[in-house]
Structure 1
Amino acid sequence: MSVPVPNHAPERVRSASVSPRTARHRTDIEGLRAVAALLIAVFHIWFGTVSGGVDVFLVLTGFLITGSLVRAMERDGRLAFGAFWSKLARRLFPAGAVVLAAVLVAAYLLLPRSRWTGIIADVQAAALYYGNWHLSLGSVDYMAENSAAGPVQHFWSLGVQGQFYLLWPVLITVVGLIAAACGLRVRTAALTAVGTVLAVSFGYSLWITATDPVWAYFDTGARLWELALGGVLALVIARVRLPRALRLVLGWAGLAALVLCGLVIGDALPYPGLASLWPTLAAVAVLLAGTGSEQPGRLTATRLLGSRPLVWLGARAYTLFLWHWPILVFYLEVTGLDRATLAGGLFVLGTAFVAAVLTTWLVDGSLTRLTRTLRAPSWSLAAGVLFVVPVLLAGLVWGQAIERDRQLRMELSSDPMSYPGAAVTLNPALAENLPALPVYPDTATVASDTLDQTRECNALTDATEVVSCEFGDPEAGFTLVLAGSSHARHWFQALRAITEQHDWRLVMMTKNACQFSADEQVYRGDPYTECTNWNADVMARIAETGPDAVFTTATRTTPGGGRDDEPGAPPERTPDGYVERWRELEELGVPVVAVRDTPRFGFNVAECVDREGARGCVEEQSFSMAERPPYEELADVPGNTRFLDLTDHLCGDGVCRGVIGNQLAYYDTNHFSHAFSRSLAVVLEPYLLESLPEAPAAETSLAEASGTLLGAAESAEPDAS
């Protein structure tokens, strides 16, 4: 999803397509750009898989830029860094900024409020050319798995290219200095350096793709070899002499391989890794087919790629690439579809084509004519930055407006009678007189606000060691350990309020997607060995410190009313590994408080509230939960284990609500918001105290101490078993 700069590169860069041994311009490169851009758009719109077009663009970028820089070094003995970067800024920034500005406007008009903060961050990262790292860091966050594709996600490849544009002139300059010092030809030294980058980056790409393919997809280091491959080709292609018949075969074979790449590879193989050799070598074959001083034959792929329609489209490939993805994302958002229909896809492609033509006319036509007389690098840089700065400022202003609204809702929520959250289930009179107010937390910031509460106290999926946080007096007379996955983690705020009230110590040991269980677990289809190691470490710490109790989950809910691994099985179960873990704790003399898992929704609750309002965001309890708690069917429950079931406070009459007591209960499909979790403290407290009779209790309960819901807690009858 990236393009080297079609008609958006300095004149010297464009001349890289002209062999030093011939004056013939390589118009087939423009045609190859057009094919790559069309493949990207078609496979994104109708197939949702890898097309190989991005890889072609990376090869072309390396080919053009390396050739241009090395020739400049050979000719002048130095590179004009300022001129190079400023011209790129003038030619790249305006078109990208126009698309990013349009995305901000469309996001405000068409996307739910809950996605605004993420869109602003994505646009800022894209505008500053670090979008690939922004996405890679987000992709390894398990808690972000449910995030929808962003309208500027495709800018990741421009980030890779932008970083290449910063690195490559420095590399070629160093190569030139070394060549001069050692009496070597610049081209020979450059070939050695670029070839080394190719080898090292390709080896790294193979390793990181096998280790973490999601990270590898966006990693500049794993993609740099594709640019270097184009660079090596640029440095040797002038010496290549291939028979005409072989060039004919290479051209058609390369073009056919490129067209078939998405159909054959799709999502079947880890990417980039070895699979990315397919489109990159296909591009190399097409470039080699275009060598030779004679005009290409009528039946050659080179002649086809150099035809006027493809050359014309190739000059607009950059803007077509920029527009197709956001238009597709907004089309799917408006229609509610997961994939474009044939007619819908044609509409997306046609709209992107029109937008690309207009943007190219605006940038390459109007802007270039206006700035053509401004030769100084500073003027070129200013022309490019002039477009980017307003986009960044717009995002900043919008973000500040969201923050002001967040603060306003926070102030409103300070009245527990207006925002009681879960406590509303304890007092029917309060529920009947609940005022109509905006939900709290704000849907635009609830996810980040919730995760930030415990981000430093939680192990990510790739971690093997325990990340532990302690709260309260280290010398407290009672220590409670919170252990388990994110469904244990989201009880933290409630437990923190309770342990503060009763002067206990709380120790948090949680890990994303990792149940506190003796079972061997699976994550994304692979054995979750990090979870196994983490579980062993947690048990070792518990054995060493001897806490007074462990709080964890008693069941696992599954969305959709069933399980993929066991068709026909109930949606909720108590795994054998849970019981085995409780038994191990019994041998250590540690009591267990196991809470029934929480319901799941078939939609993102925050987004639903933005679209449908609080009353419209409900889910059947049977969607993810059994009719009765599965642990009631167990015959061998260890004597140290007590069960808690707070489902009645989350679901009523078989229906679970996304907004309870004016509070947004869930920030995604199945995790409590930080505010709602804390409101659960007055609900959980009597159950927890009943389950831990040996724990010291304060003279007053949380409900009594608050003074606002006085007597409400007394109406809740503990049901610990």
Structure 2
Amino acid sequence: MVVTYHVFLDRVSGGVDIFLMISAFLLTLSFTRKVEEGRPLALGRHWLHRFKRLMPAAAVTIAGTLAAAWLWLPPSRWAAVLDQAWASVLYVQNWLLATTAVDYYASDDSLASPLQHFWSLSIQGQVFLLWPLVLAGGAWLSRRCGWRYRAVLAVAFGLVFAASLAFSIYETATSQAFAYFDTRARLWEFAAGSLLALALPYLRAPRPLGVVLGWTGVVAMLACGLVLPVGQSFPGSVALWPIGAAALVIVAGQTGSRLGADRLLSTRPLVGMGNVSYALYLVHWPILTVYLAVIGEARASLGAGLAIIGASVVAAYLLTHLVETPLRRAAWTEARRWRMAAVVAACLAVVAVPAAAWQAGIARTAQAAGVSGAATNPGALTLRTGVAGDASAPVLPLATQLDQQWVNLDHQCQGRFAPSDPILEQCEQTQVAGEPSKVVVVVGNSHAEQWMAALEPVARERNWQLVALLKGGCAFGEPTDPGQSDFCAGWLAAAKDYVLGVQPDAVFTVATAAAASAPDERQVTGYEQVVRELTGRGIEVVGVRDNPRFTHNMYQCVEDRGAAACEVPLEQALAPANPALPLATIPGLHLVDLTDRLCPDGVCRPVIGNVHVYLDDNHLTADYSATLAADMRDRLLAATGW
């Protein structure tokens, strides 16, 4: 079900939620049986056995995915894949993806990463460490207090279920992207499986009712991903649907009826698929995502999809019978704990050795490229001097350096520049010698941030105190303007209060907002109102024109097609005239326009002077922005008269 939804429907099915619930169901059955039969739990041995069972197939899959990424994915995606390889083998992939999902500055490759699916395995691995502690703690409490073991567990898992479900509903409503990968928001699904395992002996459905329950559960499971927007609404209360559907099938059990769903589910093909299901889950997603990346399409055709499923089943069969089963059945690995630990360590090495070697190679390449200077990679300086650079030198930044292309200042804001409102968490400042000649606060979104690579050298040269107050996605305008989003309004209000409190000599911000549906460029929402308020308080405002935004990733376009094929005419990227020009009459507002350095001769180029201009579809690289320092200085001083 999961594979079919991924390949053909490009949707989340709800099947993973069932997978999580069943894993806790089986784990609880096993531990309960041990306790009630008086056998030792031996947690250390249990954990080693569990991860010795899980890790071989996972490690081979991760290592194979690294090889596929090296062969077929563009270098701009290598760093993300390597980070996720480490996170996957260490069972923390869900936390990496949770952070990425809500990080404005993170690459969006996680949504199509060939290792994204390890998020659920990571949560499962974390629960496989936690659940035995709860089960063992319940056994200790039961013996000490004379309480029934199942009753103790029912209370414990009932509390986990209620608390986690309440938290999941809240977090899904407030931050669904983070909640989707948050272990805490998923614990209730495991607790549901444990509660079902404890209650199962008391749930005896008559045969006719069992037939109805079984088919109701199967139909509900299959329909969940079609009826509900699983990817956008889980794991809140709506995830009760697939969990409840699976519970109905389990409660229905073996009805013995010719009409029962269990007759279908017990057929040899489905049981055989169940035997390779873990490996199938592991391999299908890398095969699908790498294929789509190679052909450059968002979805596989019917024929390609069937081929992907066929290849995934074959790979899963081989992985199960050549790796997983032999190690699981090898008696010598179970004879001693150190042997199980050795298998786990070997699995870690299967991923760690190639990943570390690859990262070391990337670091050496980056170090070698770092010695390049203006002679080989002049960037925008080529438009001032006419020196084109060395065409044989690598174009900077390298694809593996893109995550380093966001601009940071020297220190967190401190002293008089430390914000009192915690919402202003992204506040940085430069260090100056003695008393600064001017205090300039850069306020706004990532498009204000990117210009700091050009502005910071000017500030250092002229001993200005530079302060950066930033929030991804929030261009600086009047927070009470009806056009401002609720996401930004609170931050914008705090930012304006901060500026009025600090009383800098000037505020540097972006005056316009370009659009990918170009040339729909306009003034930033509420910009005129906030400019008039600041200048009325004696604070000058420098408004830089926004850079073009595009419908495609400029960096990847150069990787795939070459720079010449990715050029965009200026008239398709920006408005014919700077939309902020009507505000030029406001005393204290100074407009700066560097469009000709981004789109010389009326053409927006992805590479200028052997430097990539854009790191994605709308942000300048820090490397290129830094080469604009001389132009920024000349035009800023000319506009302000400083």
TM-score range, shorter chain: over 0.9
Q: Distance in 2 between matches of 1:131 and 1:359?
A: 22
- Greater shift, 620-629 or 357-366, is seen at 620-629
Matches within 5 A, 1:495-506: 495-506=455-466
SS at match of 1:178: helix
SS at match of 1:505: strand
Tell whether 2:516 aligns with 1:559: yes
CA contact (8 A) 2:381 2:609 kept: yes
Q: Once the 2 structures are TM-superposed, how far is the Cα of residue 652 of structure 1 from its aligned partner? A: 2.1
- Of 231, 251, 259, which aligns to 1:288? 251
- Greater shift, 281-290 or 581-590, is seen at 581-590
Other-structure match for 2:196 = 233
Q: Distance in 1 between matches of 2:167 and 2:179?
A: 9
Q: Once the 2 structures are TM-superposed, how far is the Cα of residue 454 of structure 1 from its aligned partner? A: 8.0
Q: Distance in 1 between matches of 2:304 and 2:408?
A: 39
Distance 1:253 1:532, change over 3 A: same
- Of 369, 373, 381, which aligns to 1:409? 369
Q: Once the 2 structures are TM-superposed, how far is the Cα of residue 522 of structure 1 from its aligned partner? A: 9.8
Q: Once the 2 structures are TM-superposed, how far is the Cα of residue 269 of structure 1 from its aligned partner? A: 5.4
- Of 578, 590, 598, which aligns to 1:629? 578
SS at match of 1:338: coil
Distance 1:190 1:97, change over 3 A: same
Other-structure match for 2:8 = 46
CA contact (8 A) 2:545 2:594 kept: yes
Distance 1:506 1:157, change over 3 A: same
Specify the code of the residue in structure 2 equivalent to 1:53: G
Distance 1:380 1:455, change over 3 A: farther
- Of 353, 375, 389, which aligns to 2:335? 375
Specify the code of the residue in structure 1 equivalent to 2:511: A
Q: Once the 2 structures are TM-superposed, how far is the Cα of residue 449 of structure 1 from its aligned partner? A: 4.7
Matches within 5 A, 1:61-80: 61-76=23-38, 78-80=40-42
Q: Distance in 2 between matches of 1:544 and 1:442?
A: 41
Q: Once the 2 structures are TM-superposed, how far is the Cα of residue 332 of structure 1 from its aligned partner? A: 0.5
- Of 42, 61, 66, which aligns to 1:99? 61
Tell whether 2:495 aligns with 1:546: no
Other-structure match for 1:13 = none
Tell whether 2:240 aligns with 1:277: yes
**How big is each residue's C-alpha offset from its partner over 1:354-375, in whole Å with a ceiling of 9 and x where there is no partner?**
1111111112443344455642
Q: Distance in 1 between matches of 2:599 and 2:411?
A: 28
Matches within 5 A, 1:299-310: 299-310=259-270
Q: Distance in 2 between matches of 1:273 and 1:451?
A: 37
Q: Once the 2 structures are TM-superposed, how far is the Cα of residue 75 of structure 1 from its aligned partner? A: 2.4
- Of 131, 142, 159, which aligns to 1:179? 142
Q: Distance in 1 between matches of 2:481 and 2:187?
A: 35
Distance 1:94 1:592, change over 3 A: same
Specify the code of the residue in structure 2 equivalent to 1:656: C
Tell whether 2:377 aligns with 1:419: yes
Q: Distance in 1 between matches of 2:338 and 2:241?
A: 41
Other-structure match for 2:424 = 465
Specify the code of the residue in structure 2 equivalent to 1:194: F
CA contact (8 A) 2:60 2:350 kept: no
Q: Distance in 2 between matches of 1:438 and 1:296?
A: 69
CA contact (8 A) 2:17 2:242 kept: yes
Q: Distance in 1 between matches of 2:553 and 2:592?
A: 26
SS at match of 1:261: helix
- Of 509, 528, 532, which aligns to 1:583? 532
Distance 1:577 1:196, change over 3 A: same
Distance 1:137 1:611, change over 3 A: same
Matches within 5 A, 1:283-362: 283-290=246-253, 296-362=256-322
Other-structure match for 2:396 = 440
CA contact (8 A) 2:410 2:429 kept: no
CA contact (8 A) 1:617 1:659 kept: no
Specify the code of the residue in structure 2 equivalent to 1:448: Q
CA contact (8 A) 1:146 1:668 kept: no
Q: Once the 2 structures are TM-superposed, how far is the Cα of residue 516 of structure 1 from its aligned partner? A: 0.4
- Unaligned ranges ≥5, structure 1: 1-38, 562-569, 696-721
Distance 1:370 1:467, change over 3 A: closer
**How big is each residue's C-alpha offset from its partner over 1:516-567, in whole Å with a ceiling of 9 and x where there is no partner?**
00155899xxx74352222222222222222111111111000032xxxxxx
Other-structure match for 1:670 = 618
TM-score using structure 2 length:
0.94
Q: Distance in 2 between matches of 1:169 and 1:452?
A: 44
**How big is each residue's C-alpha offset from its partner over 1:224-244, in whole Å with a ceiling of 9 and x where there is no partner?**
111110100101101112221
Distance 1:623 1:149, change over 3 A: farther
SS at match of 1:594: strand
Q: Once the 2 structures are TM-superposed, how far is the Cα of residue 65 of structure 1 from its aligned partner? A: 0.3
Q: Distance in 2 between matches of 1:455 and 1:97?
A: 40
Specify the code of the residue in structure 1 equivalent to 2:499: I
SS at match of 1:142: coil
Distance 1:85 1:521, change over 3 A: farther
Specify the code of the residue in structure 2 equivalent to 1:114: S
CA contact (8 A) 1:466 1:537 kept: no
**How big is each residue's C-alpha offset from its partner over 1:354-405, in whole Å with a ceiling of 9 and x where there is no partner?**
1111111112443344455642232223224323312111101100110111
Other-structure match for 1:490 = 450
Specify the code of the residue in structure 2 equivalent to 1:559: A
SS at match of 2:590: strand
Specify the code of the residue in structure 2 equivalent to 1:471: T
CA contact (8 A) 1:198 1:228 kept: yes
SS at match of 1:421: coil
- Greater shift, 603-612 or 492-501, is seen at 603-612
Q: Distance in 2 between matches of 1:299 and 1:689?
A: 84
Q: Distance in 1 between matches of 2:202 and 2:89?
A: 39
**How big is each residue's C-alpha offset from its partner over 1:56-80, in whole Å with a ceiling of 9 and x where there is no partner?**
1011111100111122123236411
Q: Distance in 1 between matches of 2:481 and 2:392?
A: 44
Question: CA RMSD for the aligned pairs?
Answer: 2.3
Distance 1:99 1:643, change over 3 A: same
- Greater shift, 207-216 or 662-671, is seen at 662-671
Q: Once the 2 structures are TM-superposed, how far is the Cα of residue 498 of structure 1 from its aligned partner? A: 0.3
Distance 1:222 1:654, change over 3 A: same
Q: Once the 2 structures are TM-superposed, how far is the Cα of residue 165 of structure 1 from its aligned partner? A: 0.3
CA contact (8 A) 1:204 1:222 kept: yes
Other-structure match for 2:120 = 157
Distance 1:354 1:453, change over 3 A: farther
Aligned residues: 635
Other-structure match for 1:656 = 604
TM-score using structure 1 length:
0.84
- Greater shift, 159-168 or 138-147, is seen at 138-147
CA contact (8 A) 1:139 1:145 kept: no
CA contact (8 A) 2:481 2:525 kept: no
Q: Distance in 1 between matches of 2:619 and 2:326?
A: 51
- Unaligned ranges ≥5, structure 2: none
Q: Distance in 1 between matches of 2:51 and 2:247?
A: 28
SS at match of 2:466: strand
Other-structure match for 2:173 = 210
Distance 1:320 1:236, change over 3 A: same
- Of 464, 471, 476, which aligns to 2:436? 476
SS at match of 1:417: coil
Q: Distance in 2 between matches of 1:64 and 1:134?
A: 28
CA contact (8 A) 2:584 2:590 kept: no
Distance 1:521 1:349, change over 3 A: farther
CA contact (8 A) 2:411 2:431 kept: no
Q: Distance in 1 between matches of 2:21 and 2:611?
A: 51
Specify the code of the residue in structure 1 equivalent to 2:156: A
